[in-house]
Structures are given as C-alpha cells and as structure tokens.
Amino acid sequence: MPFKRTFRVHWVDTDVAGVMHFSNYLRYFEACEEEFYRSLPLPSHDFRVKYGITLPRVEAHCQYKAPCRFGDFFDVIMRVREMGEKTITLEFQAIRQQDGKLAAEGYIKCIAVNSEWKAVQLPADLAKTIRENGA
C-alpha cells in the first residue's frame, strides 16, 4: 500500500502566477518522505544518531501536470521504486483533492552517507524495513 500524506498550499508557497512554485512540490515530497521514515517500525528514527548516516539527494525529477493554487488540498502518494546497496529511490504523485487530477509526479533518489559525507551501505535493518513498508 502506498504511503500518503495530505498537504495544503500555503500563501507563501504561491508565486505571482497564482500557483504553487514548482520547487515546493519537491519540498512536500520530502516532507512526505520524512513522515514515511517516521512511520517505520524502528526503535529510533534519528538516522544520524542511530546509524550515523544522513540521506542526501543525488537526483530529483518532477513533471508538472496541473497547477495547485492557494488553499488547495493535495495528497502526496509515495512508493519505494528501487533500493540499491547504498541508495533509495522514492516516487511521488501529488493529487489535487478537489478534482482528483494529477498535479505533479516525480522521484527523488538519495544515498546513505556517513558523517564524512562518504557513501556507505544502507544499514540492513533499515533497508529491510523500508522494503517491507514502502510499497
């Protein structure tokens, strides 16, 4: 089952064209990703403390299909697309609630790095838990 979180377009998210700025979809995708990690059945969700890793992004992609405007509710639906030894690729859809239209869709690929910003293997239990819960 995909993971879902609902957001609403704030005034500050909009631009002079009257729509949500395109960069904000990636911010909301990431906000959904944060909640996904916190939803995992793990003893701790602070990956920096627990595993000594952070997950910087190596790639982001988004296609914009229909604008969201001030006050619009939209659902962000997330699935794990692919897991590598060191990487996680998550795919996202933003669906406008008022008409069910796809507003945007894309993916974010991140990589596990240690505190020296060196790529490292994903901890086994983390990788397993993401795999089991991410579709």
Which chain residues interact with a copy of itself by CB under 8 A? 10-12, 14-19, 21-24, 26-27, 30-31, 34, 38, 45-46, 54, 56-64, 67, 69-71, 117
Cβ 19 to a copy of itself, closest distance in Å? 7
- Residue 14 or 93: the one with the smaller Cβ distance to a copy of itself is 14
- Residue 116 or 124: the one with the smaller Cβ distance to a copy of itself is 116
Identify which of 111, 92, 79, 88 has the alpha carbon closest to the alpha carbon of residue 27: 92
CB neighbour burial string for 31-50, b if at least 16 within 10 angstroms, e if fewer = ebbeebbeeeebeeeebeee
- Residue 20 or 95: the one with the smaller Cβ distance to a copy of itself is 20
Tokens of 49: 């403390």
Q: How many CB atoms lie within 10 A of CB 8?
A: 13
Cβ 13 to a copy of itself, closest distance in Å? 8
Cβ 77 to a copy of itself, closest distance in Å? 18
The H or E element containing residue 31 is helix 22-39
Cβ 21 to a copy of itself, closest distance in Å? 5
- Residue 73 or 135: the one with the smaller Cβ distance to a copy of itself is 73
CA distance linking residue 104 with residue 83, whole number of Å: 23
User: How far from chain centre, in Å, is Cα 24?
Assistant: 12
